[in-house]
Amino acid sequence: MVRGISRPLTTHPQRDGDERPDDDEFTVRRTPGEGKIMKVLVIGGTGLIGSQVIANLTELGHQAISASPRSGVNTVTGEGLAEVVAGADTVVDLSNSPSFDDEPVMNFFTTSTRNLLAAERAAGVQHHVALSIVGADRAPDSGYMRAKVAQEKLIVESGCPYSIVRATQFFEFVDAIADSATDGNTVRLPDGAFQPIAAKDVAAAVTQATISDPTNSISNIAGPEKRGMDDFIRTALAASDDPRQVVGDPTAQYFGTRLDERTIVPIDGEDPTIYPTRFSDWKAPRARSGAHEA
């Protein structure tokens, strides 16, 4: 059993206010072919999700290697890529662009992904795992979302065995979302649906995808509570005794796009896996310790 990996609650959407899910840990499910010890390269392995995936894989007995520009591996320039990919069974791409502006973010995800896939083909890597965003293809006005869709397209069309995990927004970024929409004492946010998830649950899903056989498909994961973004963040700020006033504005944008009830949450037909951690349970130990997540 892997400590800290949450058991998925259900594979169907759950409305806020439904029966409280239990938050027990789960034994990682194994499928045929998963018995061997794997060498896994995690691109972005020092980040919020990557560091937890590294820890999960290591606890399961796999050889997990972190790669990032700090370790001399640059997926955009290709520096150090062939050397670090050599011998890997699976590559997990958790990298992120240093700039979210339209042209740089598109260049990052397309160039990085092309270089990574080419290195994997040359090295005989058997599985490419990537983290993307729920509803990315429903937000074409966002340059960041367009770049993630382009990344997914390159993976799907590459011929490499793959698994793409799409996640909703992370609890850890709720404060940053509020800060980005703040003017004076007012936080102006979209009122479209918002269903964030704990980073530990995202890491659990990526870990599960990594140790499983390639699905050659896109899966969707989300947290258990769905509300308007304005309502969710209003409640989150109140729980922190934050005096800012949240105003719901249908014309407000998130990453350059307006939100409706479908944009960045799982929709019918996407068969999402709902993870159990509620925002209040995630927030409680941080409030007690005085920690501030951003």
* Residue 21 pLDDT: 41
Tokens 């993307």 appear where? 132
Judged by phi (left if over 0) then psi (alpha if -120 to 50, else beta), residue 54 lies in: alpha
Q: What's at 80, amino acid-wise?
A: G
Encoded tokens for 292: 């501030």
**CA count, 13 A, side-chain hemisphere, 204:** 27
Give the Cα separation of 284 and 282 in Å (integer). Answer: 6
Residue 240: name the closest of 174, 192, 183, 194 by CA: 174
Q: Please state the rounded mean pLDDT for residues 17-41.
A: 56
Per-residue model confidence as pLDDT tens digits over 155-208 = 999 999 999 999 999 999 999 999 999 999 999 999 999 999 999 999 999 999
Structure pTM? Answer: 0.88
Per-residue model confidence as pLDDT tens digits over 87-139 = 999 999 999 999 999 999 999 999 999 999 999 999 999 999 999 999 999 99
Which residues fall within 8 angstroms of residue 175, CB to CB, at 6 or more apart?
Answer: 236, 240, 292, 293, 294
Give the Cα separation of 282 and 175 in Å (integer). Answer: 14
pLDDT interval class at 1 (50, 70, 90): very low
Q: How many residues does the chain have?
A: 294
